[in-house]
Amino acid sequence: MVMPPVMQSRQTTDVVLQALHMAVWRRKPKQRVLVHSDQGSQFTSMDWAAFIRAHNLEHSMSRRGNCHDCEKMHAVWKV
């Protein structure tokens, strides 16, 4: 699932949760969905983890210092 853009000047936990909530609401996934992110503080927060659990999502996180691990998906989705 590709998260829709939510525009703000900073990428806070609230902003990424809004984007993920919008994606879940639009797609209404029936099965568990993999959500991939980097190790930013917004993706390691308790609110993020609670949302992931509450919506039957699975969190995948990139390795430290590896900012190119999802480059191929960005190319596929032209993100």
| DSSP 8-state secondary structure symbol assigned to residue 3 | P
Its pTM stands at: 0.67
- Coil, strand or helix at 41: helix
When the pLDDT of each residue in the chain is averaged and rounded to a whole number, the result is 78
What are the domain boundaries of the chain?
A: 32-79
Percent of the chain topping pLDDT 90: 19
Q: Counting every residue, how long is the chain? A: 79
Higher pLDDT residue, 23 or 74? 23
Give CA–CA dist 7/66, Å, rounded: 25
Q: Which two tokens stand for residue 64?
A: 């430290």
Q: Does the pLDDT of residue 32 top 60, yes or no?
A: yes
